[in-house]
């Protein structure tokens, strides 16, 4: 199987091709958009990969902090607000990167719905 990130020529797709682009966009944000000939697919794919790398890079220190006992209160006299602030300082970047990933998937989903809406509906009915 040969894969390529080359942009396909923009044309009117039939329903089956549009559904294939829809599922490809859900599997890898931007890939279905590129298959449909949309330039925006490059940005969607870049945002998705950036978010994935950011999640790994910022998530590993958070997991290390949490496994080392970070954020655990040991007595009722501990300052709760200090614990919440400490948790926020460690979790904000992993949450932001996961939000970016969700936004790239939603962006690809919106593009997929646009591709489906513009697909030709005059297909040949199935044989009975």
pLDDT at 72 over 80: no
pTM, rounded to two decimals: 0.79
Is 120 in a helix, a strand, or coil?
strand
Q: Where are the domains of the chain?
A: 15-118
49-52-56 Cα angle (round to 5): 140
Question: What is d(CA 25, CA 12) in angstroms, rounded to the nearest whole number?
Answer: 18
**Tens digits of residue pLDDT in 31-67:** 999 989 899 999 999 999 999 999 999 999 999 998 8
Higher pLDDT, 36 or 69: 36
Higher pLDDT, 71 or 115: 115
Residue 7: predicted pLDDT: 73
Question: What is d(CA 48, CA 101) in angstroms, rounded to the nearest whole number?
Answer: 5
What are the angstrom distances between the C-alpha of 66 and each of 8, 89, 95, 112? 46, 12, 15, 38
Residue 120 structure tokens: 């030709």
pLDDT at 125 over 60: no
Question: What is d(CA 42, CA 88) in angstroms, rounded to the nearest whole number?
Answer: 33
Q: What percent of the chain has pLDDT over 90?
A: 57
Of 106, 98, 90, which is closest to residue 50 (Cα–Cα)? Answer: 98
Q: What percent of the chain has pLDDT over 70?
A: 84
Mean pLDDT value of segment 60-78: 79
């Amino acid at each position: 199987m040969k894969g390529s990130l080359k942009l396909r020529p923009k044309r009117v797709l039939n329903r089956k091709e549009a559904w294939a682009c829809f599922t490809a966009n859900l599997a890898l944000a931007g890939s279905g958009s590129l298959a449909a000939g949309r330039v925006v697919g490059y940005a969607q794919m870049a945002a998705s990969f950036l978010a994935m790398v950011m999640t790994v890079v910022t998530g590993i220190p958070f997991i290390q902090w949490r496994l080392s006992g970070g954020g655990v209160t040991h007595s009722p006299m501990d300052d709760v607000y200090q614990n919440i602030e400490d948790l926020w300082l460690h979790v904000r970047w992993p949450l932001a990167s996961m939000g970016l990933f969700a936004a790239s998937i939603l962006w690809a989903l919106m593009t997929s719905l646009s591709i489906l809406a513009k697909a030709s509906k005059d297909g040949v009915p199935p044989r009975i």
